[in-house]
Amino acid sequence: MLIAVALVQALAGCGHPQAKTESMKPCIAIQQTSPEIVSVDDSGNTTEPIRVTVAARGESEDLKGGRVIYTENDLQIKAIPVGDLHTGVQNVTIAPGLHVTSSSEFFETVLRQPDGKEGPSLNFPLNSRYSAPPVEARPPAPSASDSSGDSDQPIATIAPGVDRQEAESIRQFGASEVGITSWDGFIKKTSDEDANSPPQTLTLRGVNFKDGMLVRFRTLKGGQRVEATSPLAHTATVATLVKPSDYIPNNPSALMSAVVVVPVRITHAAKSQYSVLTAHAESSLVSNGELQVRLGDFDDDVSIVFEQSYKPGVVAVWPSNRLKLDVNFEIGTVLADKCSL
């Protein structure tokens, strides 16, 4: 009984005969596809089977030569033979290896240094379109008088919501070095449906920011590297250090903030859809969930290399992922800390 009810519901949109003498037309309807998020390797090929649950109606001749049509952004990418269908509910399977325009779960940002070289890269999560940012309150801003008296460069001014330790940390940067100390932002994947949505932005904090300074973004889509740039804007000073009177320090004296728009080229994800057709019947297009490069080998998927001269950097890692540090002690040691973003 449950199967019969499911079949009736699945085929409800196929239409009915207009007259008693008119025969029932063959019909196919996709009930669901699974998994909702398809695992894809670095080359853009699926690594697991995709199951399409189909309800079909018609004579055997009508349901011969079944094919699953895979489309991206309304363009047919591939037709996959799945054999003859039969009346009723059935599963057809797309074998691993289907090449798709997947989107990585991460994107990378790099700020260019004054000498033209790129600084260390930072990896940011690229979240699902339907995810919501976590609710985290930033710590209350301490007053300048709370600064440690051990330094000859104590905090002179600090804006509300700025962490005192972050303001003091700018002493480790070179006087002209461009560096990022922290950021705020929750970046989600986009599609054609988001064309009229406001741009997504990251708020960066660091040193020696200037309006117009280019940020380079990188990610993987369908196994291919995608790059784009976007300029810093709304640069402002959020904290300053006292300037010594007897010498010129070799470090920045101001913690700055700036806003950068994350390019749509980086966040845009292809709209993947499936339809099933046979000799005399075809289903409507059904959207799949998401296509993502899922984390497998950390070395291949998310990595960051620190040279000895680099300042502290950040690697974004999902809670369920493994984190591995390879340290060459002949070159130097590394101090690592784990914390939530």
pLDDT at residue number 84: 94
pLDDT reading at 192 higher than 60: yes
The pLDDT of residue 314 is 44
Check residue 293 and give its pLDDT: 45
Per DSSP, 227 falls in state: E
In words, the CATH class of domain 2-15+25-102+270-293 is mainly beta
Question: Chain-wide mean pLDDT for the chain?
Answer: 77
Choice between 299 and 130, residue whose per-residue pLDDT is larger: 130
| Residue 114: cis peptide before it, omega within 30 degrees of 0 | no
Distance CA 205, CA 237 (A): 9
CA distance 109 to 122: 5
Instruction: Check residue 147 and report its DSSP letter.
Output: S
The H or E element spanning position 236 is strand 224-241
Residues of the chain above pLDDT 90, percent = 44
Most confident of 1-5, 8-12, 185-189: 185-189
SS3 204: strand
User: What are 33-48's pLDDT values in tens digits?
Assistant: 888 778 888 788 899 9
Q: Is residue 82 within 8 Å of residue 146, measured between CB atoms?
A: no
Lowest mean per-residue pLDDT among 106-110, 134-138, 279-283: 134-138
Q: Tokens for 4, please give them.
A: 């019969």
CA-to-CA distance for 225 and 96, rounded, in angstroms? 22
Residue 17: pLDDT over 60: no
Section 91-105 average pLDDT:
88
- Dump pLDDT digits (tens) for 196-247: 889 999 999 999 999 999 999 999 887 789 999 999 999 999 999 998 877 7
The answer for residues whose C-beta is within 8 angstroms of residue 139's C-beta and 6 or more apart is 163
pLDDT at 23: 58
pLDDT of amino acid 298: 34
Residue, of 269 and 297, whose pLDDT is higher: 269
For 266-315, the three-class secondary structure string (H helix, E strand, C coil) is HHECCCEEEEEECCCCECCCEECCEEEECCCCHHHHCCCCCCCCCCCCCE
With tokens 């984390």, the residue in question is: 295
pLDDT at 29: 93
Give the pairing type, strands 214-221 and 224-241: antiparallel
Examine the pLDDT at 270 and tell me if it is beyond 90: no
Per-residue pLDDT band at 299 (split at 50, 70, 90): very low
Quick check: 10 pLDDT over 50?
Answer: no
Residue 323 has pLDDT above 80, yes or no: no
Domain residue spans in the chain?
2-15+25-102+270-293, 107-268
Q: Which helix (H) or strand (E) is 8 found in, with range?
A: helix 2-10
Q: Calculate what percentage of the chain has a pLDDT beyond 70.
A: 73
Tell which wins on pLDDT, 339 or 120. 120
- 255: which residues sit within 8 A by CB, 6+ positions away? 162, 166, 167, 170, 181, 205, 206, 207, 237, 238, 239, 240
For residues 11-21, give the mean pLDDT. Answer: 48
User: Looking at residue 14, what is its pLDDT?
Assistant: 58
pLDDT digits (tens, 9 = 90+) for 122-161: 899 988 887 888 776 554 544 444 445 566 789 999 999 9
Amino acid at 247: Y
pLDDT band at 102 (very low <50, low <70, confident <90, very high): confident
